[in-house]
A and B are shown apart, each in its own frame.
Chain A
Amino acid sequence: MCRIAAIKSRNPLPPAPVLQMMIAMQKGHDNSGFAMVMQDLDGVFAGRKDLPLLSMACTPAGLEQADEAMDRLGFELQFDWRPEVDPSEQLDIQRMPLYVFRNYQYPETFRIRPMEERKKLLVDTRLALRKLLAESNQGYVYSFWPDVLTLKEIGDPRDIAEAFHLWKDNQPLQARVISAQCRQNTNYQIVRYAAHPFFLEGYTLMGNGENTFYQKNRDFQQRLNPAYTGFESDTQCFLYTLHYVVDTLGWPIQYYKHVITPLPFEEMARRPDAPVLQEIRQACQHLEINGPNTVIFVLPDGKMGIACDAKKLRPVVVGRDDDMVVAASEVCGVNMILPDRNSEADVYPGERELVIVDSSLEVQRWPQ
């Protein structure tokens, strides 16, 4: 089973705290990989929050291909940052030749276009690059969005952190929202794309447990949006559902919970909004989560959310101090970085609630 953890903090943080949480929870994963999405960036990307940031791992040939494509589309390179990667043979990590993090300026024609059109351009561009590099087998494109950085690597998380110098507190990668996962690779071939957190149009999500409705979810999502693609991991489905419910349908976030874990019919029938809930259940029956899953997600406005499956088969805990809220699969992860917090105030989200952490770091518990 994967272990997941996320931090939402008032002040910018390096990746070290999430890594510490991962190490604390390492009994639950097999050290086969580490993936991280950083949002609300600071550090080296601080001054470029409005510019889309491309996160990519590739070969030099792959970079050349991507460069050409970006040129053709009219994107202008604004900032190029490459992490120093420790080449030591001793580290258990399957390095890619290049790790590319670049800010681009929008093509001229798009600079004054409405956000909706720019969003579409960014997604289409990412998908096109991904396809290009997949076809030539020259690399992976993870995200292309303002103020969002993605790193996914195969290997032992400690060694990955070592190689990328992620342990250092004083370092270029800093963010106020960090989501990370260490993987337990049970079902799928080790594919970089299969590592969560997954990101799409401002929505980040990671989860654990197996998605028993993976096939149903995937069959349905494939036709909903061309950006719902890949499906290398069954957890991707949870992201697409989040995106569909909140972004495409424009439903308030609490309906995500109604879609993924609908109320039992008897309970539903007792509610005044039963007709609406029943319609939602019918229309979204193929988006349900029916297995043992916990999801932690981040919305485009920076709010963090946590939800469990309807039987609460997977644990998750939310702890906090004055400066940060932390969600993790296991309480030992939270203890690791917030040992002095008031643990009585920890929240163990129930099967019928949605926990939302807003921008003022207030932890709200919304009953379904």
Chain B
Amino acid sequence: MAAIMEARIDQEQIKKNGHGKQEKSGFPYAAKVFVRDSNAVDFPWKIAWNSETCIRCGACVATCTFDSLQPRLQRRGRSVSVGNLPRPAEAADVMIAVRQVNDLAHYCRGCGMCEKVCPTGSIRPVANGRNRFPVVARKGGSPIKRGGRAHLIPGRVLDSIKVGRISQMTDPSLDAARHTFDMLTALGRGLPADKLPLKVEDGRLVSTGWSPPMHWVYPILIGDMSIGALSWRMWEALALAVGYLNEEYHLPVRMCSGEGGMPVKLLTSKYLQYMIIQIASGHFGWNRIIKAMPQMVTDPAAILIKIGQGAKPGDGGLLPAEKVAEHIQAIRGVPHADLLSPPNHQGLYSIEESVQKMFLSMNAAFQFRVPVAIKVAASSTSVSVFNNLVRDPYHIVGGFFMDGIQGGTGAAHEVNLDHSGHPILSKLRDCYLDAVAQGRQGQIPIFVGGGFGETGNLAADAFKAICLGASGVFAAKIFLQIAGCVGDEKGRCNACNTGLCPVGICTQDPSLVARLDVDAAAQNIVDYFLAVDQELKKLMAPIGNSSLPIGRSDALISMDKAVADRLQIGYAC
């Protein structure tokens, strides 16, 4: 029950303030204010609607997946002329108006779909910077949940870094259009040269035994997003794009399945070679994967053991029941319920153990033919974790994936999203330099994610990370954005947890999923990759390199002294 406070304001007060309105009757003006009822001021977005230009087509109301808009009848007074000798009189019309719904279940996410569909440009969401959302949204004792990305990251370090060492005379720049660029990176455990199983026979080196599996892949991977978090059509668009890039353009882009399995058809097709299968603490989908193994015609590109995620480090996966549709239940082998992955792999209590148990069993499952990598959230302790893996005596750790605070998620508690996590660049640098100090750089390739491509410029972000020591990067949100996601870092949409994604990307509701055109999304992703490939070359050419400049931090400068010092690159102003 909403509490009502009646505020009586006496005449004195009205006079004093000068802004009161005295009723004709002479009674003091009385306002009834429902102070604890939610109101438009409470929410992050306010709808601006223009009654004059609106043609009442209803498109906005029908489009809003959050039911944040309601049609309502509105009485409108107007002056008319009446009588033979016209005299003014008051009349009223009843007409349809569009009203914003201001309750926690239906508040506006600012997704802008209403604006997109309005034929007369009569409606749009306006950010309400001074909202009270954080203080009203924990109703019923439940923490705020959200999808998408963190909102409280100050500045963007990647943009303070520039490629400052340009080849000019003694080491000429290359021609991005003419020279051959060799832009692949190794995914898999590398042995030091003196440990390679090679011997000289007739003046040639020949292999004498097993060495860890390794694939040369494109240095930008599509990060782990599950079918479940994503709609099946979005996932399909990604898989299609990856297939197309590989088959038609010979760009060996790899994509990670996310936790939640894959369709059996894909598992048993040749396209499995482009997929990195993820295993996370919930082991969702692995029943099917294991059952499909005898039918697999090729190996997957890699296995990724997910320990943590940058957007919500220390927290497990969360797929709200709203998104656990029938096909998700089938792929994952679960009932209709909230699906929570535990924060850690049950039974793994130390890195040493994880190497022995998890890595060995995953390696063994694919008979040591498939690189097995690990994904962790960046943290103050990343170097120790990395170090333990670098010392792996069995040479079975095939990659170190580190995810920073700017990573995305399908669903998380806002408190984690906005307040926990570690930026990626300094940890990337620390881990790489630690490997350098041991002379082991490249033996466990470092792949980093979390905010790469956030501004749309994935090539530049990836290039800088590579110069800082990454063997490659993984990106995810950017590909959703290319497919039509309207979310951003400043609070637009980010409703991925609701199952009501307005563009059909992360929902399992068939009517919403229908909004996504799979082929167009896949085409956009392919186009984007092709452009990124050109842009990467356009960055490599001026520094005179045709191979990936992994660890070539001398190519970078920062215009921020603190950043330059922390990352051990040159400062320039």
Beta-carbon contacts of B522-551 to A below 8 Å, as 1s and 0s? Answer: 000000000000000000000111110111
> Are A248 and B171 touching (Cβ within 8 A)?
no
Chain B residues closer than 8 Å to A281, beta-carbon distance: 186
> Are B441 and A278 touching (Cβ within 8 A)?
no
Q: Which of B172, B439, B553 sits near A220, CB closer than 8 Å? A: B439
Q: Which residue of B lies closest to A1 (CB)?
A: B170
Q: Does B361 contact A (CB under 8 A)?
A: no
Q: Does A61 contact B (CB under 8 A)?
A: no
Known contacts A249-B194, A265-B216; A285/B179 CB under 8 A: no
Chain B residues closer than 8 Å to A224, beta-carbon distance: 439
> Are B206 and A276 touching (Cβ within 8 A)?
yes
> Are B171 and A273 touching (Cβ within 8 A)?
no
> Are B198 and A276 touching (Cβ within 8 A)?
yes
> Are A290 and B194 touching (Cβ within 8 A)?
no
> Are A279 and B439 touching (Cβ within 8 A)?
no
**Nearest CB on A from B122, distance (A):** 55
Beta-carbon contacts of A67-79 to B below 8 Å, as 1s and 0s? Answer: 0000000000000
Q: Does B81 contact A (CB under 8 A)?
A: no
Q: How many residues of chain B have a CB within 8 Å of chain A?
A: 44
> Are B170 and A210 touching (Cβ within 8 A)?
yes
> Are B180 and A283 touching (Cβ within 8 A)?
no
> Are A255 and B205 touching (Cβ within 8 A)?
yes
Known contacts A212-B171, A276-B207; A290/B546 CB under 8 A: yes
Give the complex CA separation of A281 and B186 in angstroms.
9
Q: Does B490 contact A (CB under 8 A)?
A: no
**Nearest CB on B from A240, distance (A):** 13
Known contacts A224-B439, A265-B182; A215/B545 CB under 8 A: no
> Are B190 and A282 touching (Cβ within 8 A)?
yes
Chain B residues closer than 8 Å to A243, beta-carbon distance: none
Q: Which residue of A lies closest to B436 (CB)?
A: A219
**Nearest CB on B from A322, distance (A):** 28
Give the complex CA separation of A290 and B216 in angstroms.
18
Known contacts A219-B436, A223-B438; A265/B214 CB under 8 A: no
Q: Does A46 contact B (CB under 8 A)?
A: no
> Are B171 and A210 touching (Cβ within 8 A)?
yes
Q: Which residue of A lies closest to B181 (CB)?
A: A264
Q: Does B73 contact A (CB under 8 A)?
A: no
Give the complex CA separation of A265 and B214 in angstroms.
14
> Are A215 and B170 touching (Cβ within 8 A)?
no
> Are B203 and A252 touching (Cβ within 8 A)?
yes
Give the complex CA separation of A290 and B551 in angstroms.
14
Q: Does A348 contact B (CB under 8 A)?
A: no
Q: Which residue of B lies closest to A268 (CB)?
A: B216
Looking at A212, A264, A311, which has the most chain B CB atoms within 10 Å of its CB?
Answer: A212
> Are A250 and B200 touching (Cβ within 8 A)?
yes
Those of A1-46 within 8 Å (CB) of chain B: 1
Give the complex CA separation of A223 and B441 in angstroms.
11
Chain B residues closer than 8 Å to A288, beta-carbon distance: 547
Q: Which of A262, A273, A311 sits near B204, CB closer than 8 Å? A: A273
**Nearest CB on B from A206, distance (A):** 15
Chain A residues closer than 8 Å to B193, beta-carbon distance: 244, 249, 280, 283-284
Q: Does A275 contact B (CB under 8 A)?
A: yes
Give the complex CA separation of A1 and B171 in angstroms.
9
Q: Does A134 contact B (CB under 8 A)?
A: no
Beta-carbon contacts of A288-305 to B below 8 Å, as 1s and 0s? Answer: 101110000000000000
**Nearest CB on A from B310, distance (A):** 27
Q: Which residue of A lies closest to B252 (CB)?
A: A265
**Nearest CB on A from B109, distance (A):** 45
**Nearest CB on A from B190, distance (A):** 4
Q: Does B192 contact A (CB under 8 A)?
A: yes
Q: Does B174 contact A (CB under 8 A)?
A: yes
Q: Does A286 contact B (CB under 8 A)?
A: yes
> Are B180 and A264 touching (Cβ within 8 A)?
yes
Those of A205-237 within 8 Å (CB) of chain B: 209-210, 212-216, 219-220, 222-224
Q: How many residues of chain A have a CB within 8 Å of chain B?
A: 46
Q: Does A164 contact B (CB under 8 A)?
A: no
Q: Does A170 contact B (CB under 8 A)?
A: no
> Are B200 and A213 touching (Cβ within 8 A)?
no
Q: Does A310 contact B (CB under 8 A)?
A: yes
Known contacts A216-B549, A265-B184; A286/B196 CB under 8 A: no
Q: Which residue of A lies closest to B197 (CB)?
A: A279
Give the complex CA separation of A281 and B196 in angstroms.
11
Give the complex CA separation of A209 and B172 in angstroms.
9
> Are B442 and A285 touching (Cβ within 8 A)?
yes
Known contacts A248-B194, A282-B186; A215/B172 CB under 8 A: no
> Are A209 and B171 touching (Cβ within 8 A)?
yes
Looking at A184, A215, A279, A288, which has the most chain B CB atoms within 10 Å of its CB?
Answer: A279
Q: Which of A186, A219, A255 sits near B170, CB closer than 8 Å? A: A186
> Are A292 and B171 touching (Cβ within 8 A)?
yes
> Are B174 and A311 touching (Cβ within 8 A)?
yes
Q: Which residue of B lies closest to A211 (CB)?
A: B171
> Are B547 and A215 touching (Cβ within 8 A)?
no
Looking at B179, B188, B204, B544, which has the most chain A CB atoms within 10 Å of its CB?
Answer: B544
**Nearest CB on B from A208, distance (A):** 9
> Are A279 and B211 touching (Cβ within 8 A)?
yes
Q: Which of A219, A220, A251 sits near B200, CB closer than 8 Å? A: A251
**Nearest CB on A from B252, distance (A):** 9
**Nearest CB on A from B106, distance (A):** 54
**Nearest CB on B from A247, distance (A):** 12
Q: Does A313 contact B (CB under 8 A)?
A: yes
Those of A308-342 within 8 Å (CB) of chain B: 310-311, 313
Q: Which of B192, B216, B546, B551 sits near A278, CB closer than 8 Å? A: B216
Give the complex CA separation of A96 and B191 in angstroms.
46
Q: Which residue of B lies closest to A284 (CB)?
A: B193
> Are A252 and B200 touching (Cβ within 8 A)?
yes
Known contacts A215-B553, A283-B196; A223/B190 CB under 8 A: no
Identify 16 residue pairs between A and B in the complex whose beta-carbon atoms are under 8 Å apart, listed by A's number: A210-B167, A213-B549, A216-B549, A223-B439, A248-B194, A252-B203, A273-B204, A276-B198, A278-B216, A279-B207, A279-B214, A282-B442, A285-B442, A285-B550, A286-B551, A291-B171
Question: Top 5 closest A-B pairs, CB basis?
Answer: A223-B439, A210-B171, A283-B193, A282-B190, A215-B554
Given contacts A215-B553, A219-B441, A285-B442, 6 further A-B contacts (CB under 8 A): A187-B170, A216-B551, A216-B552, A273-B205, A276-B206, A291-B544
